[in-house]
Amino acid sequence: MRCPFCTHESSQVKDSRPSEDGAAIRRRRQCEACAARFTTFERVQLRDLTVVKKDGKREPFEQAKLQSSIRHACRKRNISEGQIERLAHSIQRQLETGGDEVQAGEIGEKVMEGLKSLDSVAYIRFASVYRDFKEAGDFAEIAGSVDDE
């Protein structure tokens, strides 16, 4: 593993332990050149996903981008970073069990589904951007669907 500080090619693992409910391994490493310590995570990746955007463009799936959009919807809500990470990992696993390509809309629907069970305000925030709300009635409609359940 390349050192993020000096870019030396070799580092030594000092400690390994399970992380993220056993879905990853956290490794504490030390650079053999500069002795700096850093942490890496090892996760299972079932397949490389390609996201097909509305305009037909294709780009590689980025879990960091997924987490960022969920985090943005959950801002100033009583939702831990761990809950956000678990939701993002769950969505990624669901997508990986499908095909190699996934429609951007499918990702958005899975995020909405996950947020709806996690926090209704975060769900409405995400829906307002994802569904491109134009007027207050759009908010009322989606809020009504939360109240119905």
Q: Are residues 74 and 105 in the same domain?
A: yes
Better-predicted residue by pLDDT, 20 or 22: 22
Q: Are residues 15 and 75 in the same domain?
A: no
Please give the Cα distance from 119 to 102 (Å, whole number). 25
Q: Are residues 26 and 86 in the same domain?
A: no
Q: How many domains does the chain have?
A: 2
According to the model, what pLDDT value does residue 111 have? 96
Q: Are residues 26 and 90 in the same domain?
A: no
Q: What is the pTM of this model?
A: 0.70
Please give the Cα distance from 148 to 64 (Å, whole number). 32
Residue 60 and residue 51 in contact, taking contact as beta carbons nearer than 8 Å:
yes
Report if residue 84 sits inside a domain. yes
| Neighbour count for residue 67 (Cβ, 10 Å) | 18
According to the model, what pLDDT value does residue 149 have? 55
Q: Are residues 27 and 94 in the same domain?
A: no
Q: Are residues 102 and 117 in the same domain?
A: yes
According to the model, what pLDDT value does residue 148 have? 54
Q: How many residues does the chain have?
A: 149
